[in-house]
């Protein structure tokens, strides 16, 4: 079962039933990271800095990283949290706010007026191909993401 913990700004975070009582002992608030959902945080006991709820749930050490499987930073159920590397976390990133194609890994090449699909793998941008149709480019990106990013792949068409 899932429960909600109310944050400020009329936001809430999802947690598992077995974490609810333990997490409710603190006052959590919404932290807007400039992404789509933000995170739940609380102030440290010494007043210096903050603690992220998802890190608290996984009991992470300094330097360890958490990935939200579905990309929702306010979904802190165990089934949505996993330890990962920075590279894996970046592979599961969602579409950027400045995206103009509407799809991850796709941009318009004005000359020759085609849609370019590319993916970043091991710090290198890899050209996938040029396409007449934006959806074809997005599907090609998805295939490359499955190949290179495996279970951390964020997809344009996750239900395909």
What CATH number does the domain containing 120 carry? 3.30.730.10
Structural domain for 126, as ranges:
95-152
The CA-atom distances, in angstroms, between 145 and each of 36, 90, 132, 148 are: 21, 12, 20, 5
Residue after which a domain boundary falls, among 84, 112, 136: 84
The tokens of 92 are what? 């599961």
pLDDT at 144 over 90: yes
- The structure's pTM equals 0.74
Residue after which a domain boundary falls, among 53, 84, 115: 84
How does DSSP assign 116-146, residue by residue?
A: EEEEEETTEEEEEEEESSHHHHHHHHHHHHH
Same domain (yes/no): 110, 64: no
Same domain (yes/no): 80, 124: no
At 92, the pLDDT band (50, 70, 90 cuts) reads confident
Q: What is the pLDDT of residues 33-83, one digit of tens each?
A: 776 789 999 999 998 999 999 999 999 999 999 999 998 999 999 999 999
Same domain (yes/no): 52, 100: no
- Residue 37 within a domain: yes
Report the C-alpha gap between 41 and 31 in whole angstroms.
6
Same domain (yes/no): 24, 53: yes
At residue 117, the pLDDT reads 96
The tokens of 86 are what? 């920075």
- Residue 58 within a domain: yes
- Residue 74 within a domain: yes
Same domain (yes/no): 64, 133: no
At residue 95, the pLDDT reads 72
Same domain (yes/no): 68, 100: no
At residue 42, the pLDDT reads 97
pLDDT at 91 over 90: no
Same domain (yes/no): 41, 80: yes
Mean pLDDT score, 96-122: 89
């Amino acid at each position: 079962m899932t429960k909600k913990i109310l944050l400020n700004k009329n936001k809430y975070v999802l947690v598992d039933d077995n974490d609810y009582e333990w997490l409710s002992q603190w006052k959590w608030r919404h932290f807007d990271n400039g992404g789509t959902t933000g995170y739940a945080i609380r102030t440290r006991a010494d007043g210096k800095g903050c603690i992220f709820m998802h890190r608290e749930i996984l009991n992470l050490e300094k330097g360890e990283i958490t990935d939200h499987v579905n990309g929702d930073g306010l979904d802190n159920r165990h089934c949505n949290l996993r330890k990962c590397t920075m590279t894996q976390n970046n592979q599961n990133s969602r579409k950027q706010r400045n995206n103009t194609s509407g799809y991850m890994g796709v941009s318009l090449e004005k000359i020759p007026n085609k849609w370019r699909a590319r993916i970043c793998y091991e710090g290198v941008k890899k050209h996938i191909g040029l396409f007449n149709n934006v959806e074809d480019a997005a599907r090609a990106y998805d295939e490359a993401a499955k190949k290179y990013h495996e279970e951390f792949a964020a997809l344009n068409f996750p239900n395909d």
